[in-house]
Amino acid sequence: MTPTQGGRRPRERSDGEQGAFVELLVGRAVERCRAVLFDLDGVLVDSTDLIEDELRRWAGEHGLDPQRVVDLSPGRTNLELVAEVAPHLDAQAEERLMLEQEVRSAAGVRACPGALALVSRLPEQAWAVVTSGNRAVAEARLRAAGLPVPRVLVSADDVSAGKPDPEGYLSAARQLRVAPEACVVVEDAVAGLRAAAAAGVRAVAVERPGAPLAAPHAHSVTSLTQVRTSG
């Protein structure tokens, strides 16, 4: 774990800021915040294998190195990924085709352990999703997984730059009318943790066993079953 600001108490609410405090129990630690900002894939929905399979298939169709495409994908929007790995292709056209395939395959997605229990205990004004995927895909995956679509969902359609740029997390905090330092991010990718750090937001890393994430975070867990609310 690369620790930052763990256990830091958020400042008192300023005029216009919404939301009562939520106490998150992360393992044995307590994080007091006004909002929780979740990454989607690999945090709330178990879609990592599906995404990697689709990226490998797409890379093979275009004669690209599948592993390189997978390795470069976390945090990037499809548009950014295509521009990076295949600048000779029409990135916007490829993005549209990838979007259609991702929506079609969403039915096979399931909720990550602990996800439904956690979001069900959070007030609707106290949580958001920030994803590098498109809105249509995010909503399809949430519904397929039996999870509610949050009031605030920031997708690739809503930002000019994907993670590690902090724009998505800052936008979610602003829409919830909560200061960034009064939020907690839950992420499973280095790019997302770096985005949280750049936004000035505390982060909980969801790590695969034996695969620590080399990016700033206050706490680490292996699943959301280790994160709950008090009370």
pLDDT of residue 210: 78
For the sheet with 29-33, list strands across it.
29-33, 22-26, 227-229
Q: What are the tens digits of pLDDT across the range 38-73?
A: 999 999 999 988 989 999 999 999 999 999 999 999
Q: Which of 41-55, 159-173, 204-218 shows the lowest per-residue confidence on average (mean pLDDT)?
A: 204-218
Examine the residue annotation and report whether 157 is marked as an active-site residue of this protein. Answer: no
pLDDT of residue 17: 56
Examine the residue annotation and report whether 165 is marked as an active-site residue of this protein. Answer: no
pLDDT of residue 214: 84
pLDDT of residue 44: 98
Longest C-alpha distance within the chain, in Å? 55
Unique residue bearing structure tokens 């996800």: 115
Out of 39, 46, 165, 188, pick the active-site residue.
Answer: 39
Three-state secondary-structure class, residue 208: strand
Out of 41, 46, 165, 188, pick the active-site residue.
Answer: 41
pLDDT of residue 5: 44
pLDDT value at 1 more than 50 = no
d(CA 155, CA 193): 16
